[in-house]
Amino acid sequence: MPPARKRTRSYDSAKTRAAVLAQFRNVREAVTALPPERLDGPTRLGEWTVRDLAAHLTMVLGSVSRYLGEPEPARRELALPDWPSATVTAAARIDEDTRAVDTADLAGLYARTQALYEERIAGAGDERLVPTRFGAMRLADFLVTRALELVVHTDDLNAATGLAVPFDRQALAACARLLADALAVKAPGGAVEVRVPPHAVVQCVEGPRHTRGTPPNVVETDPLTWIRLATGRTTWARARDEGKVAASGERADLSGLLPVLG
């Protein structure tokens, strides 16, 4: 019999909405200030240039407006903690859609994307279902995925350009928490405690469960390192070698479980 599903983490929807908009504004300010030649530079995302990444960031926010403009699905099909693992099926479609975005006027594209988002999100309730690529979700849950994508790709943008685009604290927290919960879904159990202070603590991996005191198997890292591990931007071995991950206990090796985001 499979283990009982843990209670889904709750998010403050008002804070999530504000965080999504704040992070997009951070990106918008940075991208629209880049000179044209910087937009043609490479990124760590395969063949994508900075321009492609900039286009994709408008898709992250624009998907909310697009889905809110479609008929509401009849029932929910996807729970929030299952979203990260579902994304592995969409890489080719996302690449195709990104390359189809007209980036001739990036400043205008970002302005239009933000304006439409603000218009449509204003009257939409948290329980409104939206038809995402991976199944219908609550709007409140889908917005958490937008915070995650904006944070992950802001980090990609910083890596590609040398900029220091800031991370909205609430967006960073939502990203770290969702990826931690996705790990717990992928490897259910209570043998290992993963700590991402100050944002998340989860237990995962089959084996003896501790009930009090310090757990025998503990992994601890900072939010950005965790996000990079969970999305494949860095490796377990590299993070350990750089002293960015502390791991104790015979089960505290997560290398076989990462990344958790497709």
Band of pLDDT at residue 212, cut at 50, 70 and 90: low
Confidence of residue 106 (pLDDT cuts 50, 70, 90): very high
Backbone angles phi, psi at 24, to 5 degrees: -65, -40
Fold topology of 173-248: Nonspecific Lipid-transfer Protein; Chain A (3.30.1050)
Least confident of 129-143, 213-227, 241-255: 213-227
Q: DSSP 3-state assignment of 42?
A: strand
The pLDDT of residue 139:
98
Tokens 């090796």 map to which residue? 253
Q: How far apart are CA 77 and CA 95, in angstroms?
A: 24
Q: Does domain 13-170 have CATH number 1.10.287.70?
A: no
Q: Reduced to 3 DSSP states, what percent helix, strand and coil does the chain have, rounded to the nearest 5?
A: 50, 10, 40
Mean pLDDT for all residues in the chain: 94
d(CA 15, CA 124): 15
Distances, alpha carbon 259 to alpha carbons 122, 180, 230, 235, in Å: 34, 11, 4, 9
What 8-state DSSP symbol labels residue 49?
B
Task: Find tokens 């996000």 and name the residue.
Answer: 227
> Peptide bond before 35: cis, by omega within 30 degrees of 0?
no
Contact call for residues 126 and 17 (beta carbons, < 8 A): no
pLDDT over threshold 70, residue 213: no
Write down the domain spans for the chain. Answer: 13-170, 173-248
CA 248 to chain centre: 27
**Does residue 8 register a pLDDT over 80?**
no
